[in-house]
Structure 1
Amino acid sequence: MNRVNCLIVDDEPLASNVLEKYITKLDHLRLVGKAENAVEAFNLLNTHNIDLMFLDIKMPQITGIDFLKSLPNPPMVIFTTAYRDFALDGFEMSALDYLLKPISFERFLKAVSKIPNPPVHKQAPTEISTSDRAYIFVREDKRMKKVFLDDILFIESIKDYVKIITKEGSILTYLKMSYLEDQLPNRLFLRVHKSFIINIHSIQTYSASEIEIDGVIIPIGRHYKQAVHRVLNALML
Protein backbone atom coordinates (compact mmCIF):
# COMPACT_ATOMS: atom_id res chain seq x y z
CA MET A 1 0.00 0.00 0.00
CA ASN A 2 1.31 3.47 -0.91
CA ARG A 3 1.01 5.48 2.29
CA VAL A 4 0.46 9.21 1.97
CA ASN A 5 2.64 11.41 4.18
CA CYS A 6 0.49 14.21 5.60
CA LEU A 7 1.22 17.58 7.17
CA ILE A 8 -1.37 19.62 9.10
CA VAL A 9 -0.91 23.40 9.01
CA ASP A 10 -3.42 25.10 11.31
CA ASP A 11 -3.08 27.55 14.20
CA GLU A 12 -6.31 26.32 15.85
CA PRO A 13 -5.49 23.38 18.16
CA LEU A 14 -9.06 22.04 18.10
CA ALA A 15 -9.21 21.90 14.29
CA SER A 16 -5.70 20.46 14.10
CA ASN A 17 -6.55 17.72 16.60
CA VAL A 18 -9.69 16.76 14.68
CA LEU A 19 -7.68 16.31 11.48
CA GLU A 20 -5.05 14.30 13.35
CA LYS A 21 -7.75 11.98 14.68
CA TYR A 22 -9.20 11.48 11.19
CA ILE A 23 -5.81 10.81 9.61
CA THR A 24 -4.87 8.17 12.19
CA LYS A 25 -8.10 6.27 11.43
CA LEU A 26 -6.99 5.54 7.86
CA ASP A 27 -4.23 3.04 7.17
CA HIS A 28 -3.16 4.65 3.91
CA LEU A 29 -2.49 8.03 5.57
CA ARG A 30 0.52 8.81 7.79
CA LEU A 31 0.76 12.00 9.85
CA VAL A 32 4.33 13.29 9.58
CA GLY A 33 3.96 16.60 11.38
CA LYS A 34 1.84 19.52 12.56
CA ALA A 35 2.60 23.23 12.20
CA GLU A 36 0.88 26.32 13.59
CA ASN A 37 2.17 28.77 11.00
CA ALA A 38 3.88 29.06 7.63
CA VAL A 39 7.39 29.23 9.07
CA GLU A 40 7.02 25.92 10.92
CA ALA A 41 5.37 24.37 7.87
CA PHE A 42 8.17 25.53 5.55
CA ASN A 43 10.81 23.96 7.78
CA LEU A 44 8.89 20.67 7.92
CA LEU A 45 8.44 20.63 4.14
CA ASN A 46 12.19 21.00 3.73
CA THR A 47 13.10 18.25 6.16
CA HIS A 48 10.40 15.65 5.43
CA ASN A 49 8.86 14.05 2.38
CA ILE A 50 5.32 15.45 2.45
CA ASP A 51 2.73 14.21 -0.07
CA LEU A 52 -0.38 15.98 1.22
CA MET A 53 -0.84 19.17 3.20
CA PHE A 54 -4.03 20.06 5.08
CA LEU A 55 -3.66 23.83 4.92
CA ASP A 56 -5.67 26.39 6.86
CA ILE A 57 -6.28 29.61 4.94
CA LYS A 58 -6.62 32.16 7.75
CA MET A 59 -3.33 32.03 9.68
CA PRO A 60 -1.07 34.57 11.40
CA GLN A 61 1.89 36.08 9.52
CA ILE A 62 0.84 34.82 6.06
CA THR A 63 -2.34 33.27 4.63
CA GLY A 64 -2.41 29.66 3.50
CA ILE A 65 -2.99 30.78 -0.09
CA ASP A 66 0.01 33.14 -0.09
CA PHE A 67 2.11 30.45 1.56
CA LEU A 68 1.18 27.93 -1.11
CA LYS A 69 2.03 30.46 -3.84
CA SER A 70 5.50 30.87 -2.32
CA LEU A 71 6.37 27.16 -2.59
CA PRO A 72 8.37 26.22 -5.70
CA ASN A 73 7.44 22.52 -5.46
CA PRO A 74 4.31 22.18 -3.29
CA PRO A 75 2.72 18.88 -2.27
CA MET A 76 -0.93 18.09 -2.87
CA VAL A 77 -3.17 20.39 -0.82
CA ILE A 78 -6.56 20.19 0.84
CA PHE A 79 -7.56 23.61 2.15
CA THR A 80 -9.36 23.91 5.49
CA THR A 81 -11.14 27.06 6.64
CA ALA A 82 -14.11 28.44 8.51
CA TYR A 83 -14.84 30.92 5.70
CA ARG A 84 -16.83 29.98 2.59
CA ASP A 85 -15.61 33.08 0.74
CA PHE A 86 -12.19 31.52 0.12
CA ALA A 87 -13.50 28.48 -1.76
CA LEU A 88 -12.91 29.93 -5.24
CA ASP A 89 -9.36 30.98 -4.36
CA GLY A 90 -8.70 27.49 -3.05
CA PHE A 91 -9.80 25.73 -6.20
CA GLU A 92 -7.89 28.19 -8.39
CA MET A 93 -4.75 26.95 -6.62
CA SER A 94 -5.51 23.43 -7.93
CA ALA A 95 -6.28 22.11 -4.46
CA LEU A 96 -7.66 18.58 -4.19
CA ASP A 97 -10.54 19.84 -2.10
CA TYR A 98 -11.79 22.58 0.20
CA LEU A 99 -13.04 21.59 3.67
CA LEU A 100 -15.28 23.93 5.62
CA LYS A 101 -14.92 23.83 9.40
CA PRO A 102 -16.20 22.12 11.47
CA ILE A 103 -15.13 19.14 9.37
CA SER A 104 -17.10 15.92 9.59
CA PHE A 105 -15.41 12.55 9.12
CA GLU A 106 -17.68 11.81 6.14
CA ARG A 107 -16.61 15.02 4.40
CA PHE A 108 -12.98 14.28 5.23
CA LEU A 109 -13.28 10.84 3.61
CA LYS A 110 -14.70 12.39 0.47
CA ALA A 111 -11.76 14.79 0.25
CA VAL A 112 -9.00 12.19 0.74
CA SER A 113 -10.68 9.87 -1.77
CA LYS A 114 -9.48 12.36 -4.42
CA ILE A 115 -5.84 11.46 -3.75
CA PRO A 116 -4.40 9.78 -6.88
CA ASN A 117 -3.55 6.10 -6.61
CA PRO A 118 -0.60 5.80 -6.46
CA PRO A 119 -0.15 9.21 -4.83
CA VAL A 120 1.98 11.85 -6.50
CA HIS A 121 5.07 11.80 -4.31
CA LYS A 122 7.05 14.95 -3.86
CA GLN A 123 10.78 14.62 -4.40
CA ALA A 124 12.53 14.05 -1.10
CA PRO A 125 14.25 17.16 0.23
CA THR A 126 18.01 17.25 -0.14
CA GLU A 127 20.70 19.21 1.62
CA ILE A 128 23.18 21.34 -0.29
CA SER A 129 25.69 18.85 -1.67
CA THR A 130 28.70 20.95 -0.84
CA SER A 131 27.81 21.53 2.81
CA ASP A 132 26.16 20.00 5.84
CA ARG A 133 25.44 23.43 7.32
CA ALA A 134 22.25 23.58 9.35
CA TYR A 135 19.68 26.23 8.48
CA ILE A 136 16.19 27.50 9.18
CA PHE A 137 13.70 29.38 7.04
CA VAL A 138 12.13 32.64 8.24
CA ARG A 139 9.66 34.96 6.59
CA GLU A 140 10.99 38.28 5.31
CA ASP A 141 8.22 40.38 3.76
CA LYS A 142 6.30 37.82 1.66
CA ARG A 143 9.20 35.45 1.01
CA MET A 144 10.71 32.61 3.02
CA LYS A 145 14.44 33.13 3.45
CA LYS A 146 17.05 30.49 4.26
CA VAL A 147 19.33 31.46 7.14
CA PHE A 148 22.38 29.33 7.93
CA LEU A 149 22.75 28.93 11.69
CA ASP A 150 26.50 29.51 11.68
CA ASP A 151 25.93 32.88 9.96
CA ILE A 152 23.78 34.16 12.84
CA LEU A 153 25.62 36.44 15.28
CA PHE A 154 22.74 37.18 17.64
CA ILE A 155 18.98 37.64 17.71
CA GLU A 156 17.14 40.59 19.27
CA SER A 157 13.48 40.70 20.23
CA ILE A 158 11.64 43.89 19.20
CA LYS A 159 8.04 43.75 20.46
CA ASP A 160 6.23 41.18 18.27
CA TYR A 161 9.20 40.81 15.91
CA VAL A 162 12.72 39.48 16.10
CA LYS A 163 15.77 40.89 14.34
CA ILE A 164 18.24 38.23 13.26
CA ILE A 165 21.71 39.72 12.96
CA THR A 166 23.90 37.74 10.56
CA LYS A 167 27.38 38.16 9.11
CA GLU A 168 25.78 39.63 5.99
CA GLY A 169 23.18 41.92 7.55
CA SER A 170 19.91 41.74 9.47
CA ILE A 171 16.51 40.14 8.92
CA LEU A 172 13.34 41.39 10.60
CA THR A 173 10.66 38.73 10.92
CA TYR A 174 7.39 38.23 12.79
CA LEU A 175 8.24 35.46 15.26
CA LYS A 176 8.13 34.76 18.96
CA MET A 177 11.48 34.68 20.73
CA SER A 178 10.41 31.56 22.61
CA TYR A 179 9.77 29.73 19.32
CA LEU A 180 13.26 30.50 18.03
CA GLU A 181 14.80 29.52 21.36
CA ASP A 182 13.13 26.10 21.08
CA GLN A 183 14.19 25.64 17.44
CA LEU A 184 17.85 26.64 17.75
CA PRO A 185 20.38 24.07 19.05
CA ASN A 186 21.59 24.90 22.57
CA ARG A 187 25.09 23.71 21.71
CA LEU A 188 25.38 26.80 19.50
CA PHE A 189 22.88 29.35 20.84
CA LEU A 190 22.29 30.77 24.30
CA ARG A 191 19.49 32.96 25.68
CA VAL A 192 21.28 35.65 27.71
CA HIS A 193 18.45 38.15 28.16
CA LYS A 194 14.70 38.27 27.61
CA SER A 195 15.48 40.23 24.44
CA PHE A 196 18.65 38.48 23.22
CA ILE A 197 19.82 35.08 21.99
CA ILE A 198 23.47 34.86 21.01
CA ASN A 199 25.65 32.55 18.94
CA ILE A 200 28.20 31.31 21.47
CA HIS A 201 30.96 31.09 18.85
CA SER A 202 30.49 34.77 17.93
CA ILE A 203 31.44 36.08 21.39
CA GLN A 204 34.36 38.51 21.23
CA THR A 205 34.58 39.60 24.87
CA TYR A 206 32.44 39.19 27.97
CA SER A 207 32.20 40.26 31.59
CA ALA A 208 29.88 39.47 34.48
CA SER A 209 27.16 41.74 33.09
CA GLU A 210 27.59 41.94 29.32
CA ILE A 211 28.80 40.24 26.15
CA GLU A 212 30.33 41.82 23.06
CA ILE A 213 29.56 40.45 19.58
CA ASP A 214 30.66 42.23 16.41
CA GLY A 215 31.18 45.44 18.38
CA VAL A 216 27.68 45.32 19.89
CA ILE A 217 27.33 45.22 23.69
CA ILE A 218 24.61 42.78 24.78
CA PRO A 219 23.43 42.80 28.41
CA ILE A 220 23.17 39.61 30.46
CA GLY A 221 19.73 39.53 32.09
CA ARG A 222 19.45 39.10 35.84
CA HIS A 223 17.35 35.95 35.52
CA TYR A 224 19.78 34.42 32.99
CA LYS A 225 23.10 35.15 34.74
CA GLN A 226 23.58 31.81 36.45
CA ALA A 227 22.96 29.73 33.31
CA VAL A 228 24.99 32.11 31.12
CA HIS A 229 28.00 32.13 33.45
CA ARG A 230 27.93 28.34 33.67
CA VAL A 231 28.21 28.13 29.87
CA LEU A 232 30.83 30.87 29.64
CA ASN A 233 32.96 29.27 32.36
CA ALA A 234 32.86 25.99 30.43
CA LEU A 235 34.41 27.83 27.46
CA MET A 236 37.43 28.91 29.49
CA LEU A 237 40.65 26.95 29.05
Structure 2
Amino acid sequence: MKIRTLIVDDEPHAMEIIRKYATQIPEIEIVGTCGNAIEAFQTIQHNNIDLVFLDIKMPRLLGTDLVRSLKRPPMIIFTTAYQEYAIEGFDLNAIDYLLKPIPLKRFLQAIDKVMHFLDGDDKKQEVGESSNPQVTQTAHHFIYLRVDRRLVKVNTDDILWIESLKDYIKVTTKGKVFYTKQKISVMEKLLPMGEFLRIHRSFIIPLNKVEGYNPNHVLIAETKIPIGRNYKQICADKFDPRDGFSCPQEGAII
Protein backbone atom coordinates (compact mmCIF):
# COMPACT_ATOMS: atom_id res chain seq x y z
CA MET A 1 0.00 0.00 0.00
CA LYS A 2 1.40 3.35 -1.05
CA ILE A 3 0.21 6.62 0.48
CA ARG A 4 0.38 9.21 -2.28
CA THR A 5 1.70 12.30 -0.52
CA LEU A 6 1.98 15.99 -1.39
CA ILE A 7 4.20 18.45 0.51
CA VAL A 8 3.08 22.09 0.53
CA ASP A 9 5.33 24.75 2.06
CA ASP A 10 6.72 28.10 0.96
CA GLU A 11 9.98 27.42 2.81
CA PRO A 12 12.32 25.11 0.83
CA HIS A 13 14.23 24.09 3.97
CA ALA A 14 11.06 23.01 5.78
CA MET A 15 9.90 21.13 2.68
CA GLU A 16 13.23 19.32 2.42
CA ILE A 17 13.07 18.18 6.05
CA ILE A 18 9.67 16.59 5.50
CA ARG A 19 10.87 14.98 2.27
CA LYS A 20 13.94 13.60 4.07
CA TYR A 21 11.81 12.11 6.83
CA ALA A 22 9.24 10.72 4.39
CA THR A 23 11.82 8.84 2.33
CA GLN A 24 12.48 6.69 5.40
CA ILE A 25 8.89 5.42 5.36
CA PRO A 26 8.36 2.73 2.68
CA GLU A 27 4.58 3.35 2.58
CA ILE A 28 4.99 7.04 1.75
CA GLU A 29 5.22 8.00 -1.92
CA ILE A 30 6.03 11.67 -2.51
CA VAL A 31 4.17 12.55 -5.70
CA GLY A 32 4.88 16.27 -5.65
CA THR A 33 5.77 19.46 -3.82
CA CYS A 34 4.15 22.88 -3.99
CA GLY A 35 5.44 26.24 -2.85
CA ASN A 36 2.01 27.79 -2.25
CA ALA A 37 -1.61 26.86 -1.63
CA ILE A 38 -2.84 27.94 -5.09
CA GLU A 39 -0.49 25.51 -6.78
CA ALA A 40 -1.48 22.82 -4.26
CA PHE A 41 -5.16 23.35 -5.03
CA GLN A 42 -4.56 22.68 -8.72
CA THR A 43 -2.39 19.64 -7.97
CA ILE A 44 -5.02 18.10 -5.70
CA GLN A 45 -7.73 18.73 -8.26
CA HIS A 46 -5.88 16.87 -11.02
CA ASN A 47 -4.17 14.06 -9.09
CA ASN A 48 -5.05 11.27 -6.70
CA ILE A 49 -3.59 12.57 -3.43
CA ASP A 50 -4.06 10.64 -0.18
CA LEU A 51 -2.07 12.76 2.28
CA VAL A 52 -0.91 16.38 2.36
CA PHE A 53 1.72 17.91 4.62
CA LEU A 54 0.36 21.44 4.59
CA ASP A 55 1.96 24.60 5.92
CA ILE A 56 -0.59 27.00 7.37
CA LYS A 57 0.99 30.44 7.02
CA MET A 58 1.65 31.00 3.32
CA PRO A 59 1.29 34.08 1.09
CA ARG A 60 -1.94 34.69 -0.88
CA LEU A 61 -3.83 31.74 0.66
CA LEU A 62 -3.53 30.10 4.08
CA GLY A 63 -3.32 26.34 4.29
CA THR A 64 -6.50 26.27 6.37
CA ASP A 65 -8.33 28.21 3.64
CA LEU A 66 -7.10 25.70 1.08
CA VAL A 67 -8.67 22.83 3.01
CA ARG A 68 -11.96 24.73 3.32
CA SER A 69 -11.99 25.23 -0.46
CA LEU A 70 -11.82 21.48 -1.14
CA LYS A 71 -15.07 19.55 -1.37
CA ARG A 72 -13.30 16.26 -0.64
CA PRO A 73 -9.96 17.04 1.01
CA PRO A 74 -7.37 14.28 1.44
CA MET A 75 -5.89 13.47 4.83
CA ILE A 76 -4.18 16.58 6.20
CA ILE A 77 -1.19 16.98 8.49
CA PHE A 78 -0.73 20.68 9.20
CA THR A 79 2.78 22.03 9.66
CA THR A 80 3.42 25.46 11.15
CA ALA A 81 5.92 27.49 13.12
CA TYR A 82 3.10 29.50 14.71
CA GLN A 83 0.93 27.80 17.30
CA GLU A 84 -1.79 30.43 16.95
CA TYR A 85 -2.35 29.41 13.33
CA ALA A 86 -2.97 25.81 14.35
CA ILE A 87 -6.03 27.00 16.25
CA GLU A 88 -7.63 28.03 12.95
CA GLY A 89 -7.66 24.40 11.82
CA PHE A 90 -9.61 23.03 14.78
CA ASP A 91 -12.71 22.36 12.72
CA LEU A 92 -10.97 20.80 9.72
CA ASN A 93 -10.50 17.21 10.97
CA ALA A 94 -6.74 17.18 10.43
CA ILE A 95 -4.91 13.96 11.20
CA ASP A 96 -2.27 15.87 13.16
CA TYR A 97 -0.42 19.18 13.68
CA LEU A 98 3.36 19.40 13.55
CA LEU A 99 5.08 22.45 15.00
CA LYS A 100 8.31 23.56 13.33
CA PRO A 101 11.11 22.72 13.70
CA ILE A 102 9.73 19.18 13.31
CA PRO A 103 11.63 16.44 15.19
CA LEU A 104 11.81 13.03 13.52
CA LYS A 105 10.13 11.41 16.52
CA ARG A 106 7.13 13.73 16.22
CA PHE A 107 6.95 13.14 12.45
CA LEU A 108 6.82 9.37 13.00
CA GLN A 109 4.02 9.81 15.53
CA ALA A 110 1.99 11.66 12.90
CA ILE A 111 2.61 8.89 10.35
CA ASP A 112 1.52 6.35 12.96
CA LYS A 113 -1.79 8.22 13.26
CA VAL A 114 -2.19 8.03 9.49
CA MET A 115 -1.60 4.28 9.59
CA HIS A 116 -4.11 3.80 12.39
CA PHE A 117 -6.63 5.86 10.49
CA LEU A 118 -6.22 3.78 7.35
CA ASP A 119 -6.49 0.56 9.37
CA GLY A 120 -9.58 1.75 11.27
CA ASP A 121 -11.66 -1.00 12.87
CA ASP A 122 -14.96 0.20 11.44
CA LYS A 123 -14.25 0.91 7.78
CA LYS A 124 -11.05 -0.52 6.34
CA GLN A 125 -10.13 0.41 2.81
CA GLU A 126 -7.07 0.60 0.61
CA VAL A 127 -5.80 4.03 -0.36
CA GLY A 128 -7.04 4.86 -3.85
CA GLU A 129 -9.83 2.26 -3.65
CA SER A 130 -12.50 4.95 -3.45
CA SER A 131 -12.90 8.31 -5.15
CA ASN A 132 -13.12 9.68 -1.60
CA PRO A 133 -10.16 8.26 0.38
CA GLN A 134 -11.19 10.34 3.39
CA VAL A 135 -14.56 8.68 3.86
CA THR A 136 -13.75 7.28 7.30
CA GLN A 137 -12.22 10.54 8.47
CA THR A 138 -15.23 12.67 7.66
CA ALA A 139 -17.42 10.35 9.73
CA HIS A 140 -16.02 12.06 12.82
CA HIS A 141 -15.51 15.65 13.86
CA PHE A 142 -12.58 16.66 16.04
CA ILE A 143 -11.53 19.72 17.97
CA TYR A 144 -8.07 20.48 19.31
CA LEU A 145 -7.64 21.73 22.85
CA ARG A 146 -4.49 23.40 24.11
CA VAL A 147 -3.74 21.53 27.34
CA ASP A 148 -0.42 21.96 29.19
CA ARG A 149 1.28 23.58 26.18
CA ARG A 150 0.26 20.85 23.75
CA LEU A 151 -2.66 20.24 21.41
CA VAL A 152 -5.01 17.43 22.38
CA LYS A 153 -7.32 15.99 19.73
CA VAL A 154 -10.85 15.31 21.02
CA ASN A 155 -13.60 13.54 19.11
CA THR A 156 -16.70 15.70 19.54
CA ASP A 157 -18.81 12.54 19.76
CA ASP A 158 -17.09 11.80 23.10
CA ILE A 159 -18.06 15.15 24.65
CA LEU A 160 -20.69 15.04 27.39
CA TRP A 161 -20.77 18.76 28.17
CA ILE A 162 -18.66 21.92 28.07
CA GLU A 163 -18.56 24.34 31.00
CA SER A 164 -17.19 27.87 31.17
CA LEU A 165 -14.94 28.68 34.15
CA LYS A 166 -14.02 32.36 33.85
CA ASP A 167 -11.09 32.45 31.38
CA TYR A 168 -11.08 28.67 30.97
CA ILE A 169 -13.46 26.01 29.75
CA LYS A 170 -13.89 22.52 31.12
CA VAL A 171 -14.58 19.84 28.52
CA THR A 172 -16.02 16.68 30.05
CA THR A 173 -15.81 13.58 27.84
CA LYS A 174 -16.69 9.93 28.34
CA GLY A 175 -13.25 9.13 29.70
CA LYS A 176 -11.45 12.36 30.60
CA VAL A 177 -11.84 15.98 31.64
CA PHE A 178 -9.84 18.70 29.88
CA TYR A 179 -9.21 22.28 30.96
CA THR A 180 -8.14 24.81 28.35
CA LYS A 181 -7.87 28.59 28.22
CA GLN A 182 -10.64 29.52 25.83
CA LYS A 183 -13.89 31.45 25.71
CA ILE A 184 -17.02 29.34 25.53
CA SER A 185 -18.35 31.59 22.75
CA VAL A 186 -15.32 30.70 20.63
CA MET A 187 -15.66 27.00 21.41
CA GLU A 188 -19.33 27.14 20.41
CA LYS A 189 -18.31 28.17 16.87
CA LEU A 190 -15.86 25.26 16.56
CA LEU A 191 -18.46 22.57 17.28
CA PRO A 192 -20.35 20.83 14.44
CA MET A 193 -23.46 22.81 13.56
CA GLY A 194 -26.76 21.32 14.69
CA GLU A 195 -25.20 18.78 17.06
CA PHE A 196 -24.61 20.96 20.11
CA LEU A 197 -26.77 23.47 21.96
CA ARG A 198 -25.93 26.24 24.40
CA ILE A 199 -28.40 25.94 27.27
CA HIS A 200 -26.74 28.33 29.73
CA ARG A 201 -24.21 31.15 29.52
CA SER A 202 -21.78 28.62 31.02
CA PHE A 203 -22.86 25.32 29.44
CA ILE A 204 -22.96 23.71 25.99
CA ILE A 205 -24.31 20.19 25.56
CA PRO A 206 -24.45 17.60 22.76
CA LEU A 207 -28.07 17.00 21.74
CA ASN A 208 -27.65 13.25 21.31
CA LYS A 209 -26.45 12.78 24.90
CA VAL A 210 -29.56 14.22 26.59
CA GLU A 211 -31.27 11.54 28.70
CA GLY A 212 -33.95 13.71 30.25
CA TYR A 213 -35.39 17.19 30.35
CA ASN A 214 -36.82 19.51 32.98
CA PRO A 215 -37.52 23.24 32.54
CA ASN A 216 -34.60 23.86 34.89
CA HIS A 217 -32.04 21.32 33.68
CA VAL A 218 -31.23 18.45 31.35
CA LEU A 219 -29.82 15.08 32.37
CA ILE A 220 -26.62 13.76 30.79
CA ALA A 221 -24.72 10.76 32.15
CA GLU A 222 -26.81 10.99 35.33
CA THR A 223 -25.66 14.59 35.83
CA LYS A 224 -28.00 17.57 35.95
CA ILE A 225 -26.86 20.39 33.66
CA PRO A 226 -28.64 23.68 34.48
CA ILE A 227 -30.68 25.61 31.92
CA GLY A 228 -30.17 29.36 32.05
CA ARG A 229 -33.12 31.73 32.31
CA ASN A 230 -32.47 33.19 28.87
CA TYR A 231 -32.28 29.72 27.31
CA LYS A 232 -35.46 28.17 28.70
CA GLN A 233 -37.58 28.80 25.61
CA ILE A 234 -34.91 27.43 23.28
CA CYS A 235 -34.68 24.29 25.39
CA ALA A 236 -38.44 23.92 25.63
CA ASP A 237 -38.72 24.10 21.86
CA LYS A 238 -35.99 21.50 21.51
CA PHE A 239 -36.64 19.06 24.34
CA ASP A 240 -40.29 19.23 25.42
CA PRO A 241 -41.67 15.70 24.81
CA ARG A 242 -45.06 17.18 23.94
CA ASP A 243 -43.34 18.94 21.06
CA GLY A 244 -41.84 15.80 19.59
CA PHE A 245 -38.72 15.26 21.69
CA SER A 246 -38.23 11.72 22.98
CA CYS A 247 -35.60 10.72 25.53
CA PRO A 248 -33.91 7.34 25.52
CA GLN A 249 -35.03 6.52 29.07
CA GLU A 250 -38.54 5.88 30.29
CA GLY A 251 -39.98 8.67 32.40
CA ALA A 252 -37.72 11.18 30.77
CA ILE A 253 -39.23 14.36 32.22
CA ILE A 254 -37.18 14.78 35.36
- Of structures 1 and 2, the one scoring higher in RCO (CA 8 A, sep 6+) is 1
Which residue of 2 is the match for residue 32 of structure 1? 63
Q: Distance in 2 between matches of 1:164 and 1:194?
A: 15
Q: CA deviation at 1:215?
A: 2.1
Q: Distance in 2 between matches of 1:170 and 1:70?
A: 28
Q: What is the letter of the counterpart of residue 176 of structure 2?
A: G
Q: CA deviation at 1:214?
A: 1.5
Count of aligned pairs between the two proteins: 156
Q: What is the letter of the counterpart of residue 4 of structure 1?
A: N
1:167 aligns with 2:174: yes
The gaps in structure 1 that reach 5 residues or longer are 9-19, 25-29, 54-66, 74-122
Instruction: Say whether the 8 Å CA contact 2:91–2:143 is kept in structure 1.
Output: no
1:7 aligns with 2:93: no
Cα gap change, 1:210/1:144 in structure 2, threshold over 3 Å: closer, same or farther? same
Q: Distance in 2 between matches of 1:146 and 1:169?
A: 12
Q: 2:90 aligns with which of 17, 23, 43?
A: 43
Q: Distance in 2 between matches of 1:70 and 1:46?
A: 20
Cα gap change, 1:40/1:222 in structure 2, threshold over 3 Å: closer, same or farther? same
Identity value in percent: 30
Q: 2:161 aligns with which of 154, 161, 165?
A: 154
Query: What is the root-mean-square deviation in Å for CA atoms of aligned residues?
Result: 3.7
Q: What TM-score comes out, normalization by structure 2 length?
A: 0.51
Instruction: Say whether the 8 Å CA contact 2:91–2:142 is kept in structure 1.
Output: no
Q: Distance in 2 between matches of 1:139 and 1:32?
A: 20
Instruction: Say whether the 8 Å CA contact 2:218–2:225 is kept in structure 1.
Output: yes
Cα gap change, 1:166/1:232 in structure 2, threshold over 3 Å: closer, same or farther? same
Q: Distance in 1 between matches of 2:89 and 2:152?
A: 10
Q: Give the 5 Å matches for 1:167-206.
A: 167-206=174-213
The residue matched to 2:182 in structure 1 has which SS?
coil
Which residue of 2 is the match for residue 236 of structure 1? 245
Instruction: Say whether the 8 Å CA contact 1:33–1:44 is kept in structure 2.
Output: no
Cα gap change, 1:228/1:68 in structure 2, threshold over 3 Å: closer, same or farther? farther
The residue matched to 1:180 in structure 2 has which SS?
helix
Instruction: Say whether the 8 Å CA contact 1:162–1:172 is kept in structure 2.
Output: yes
Which residue of 2 is the match for residue 128 of structure 1? 117
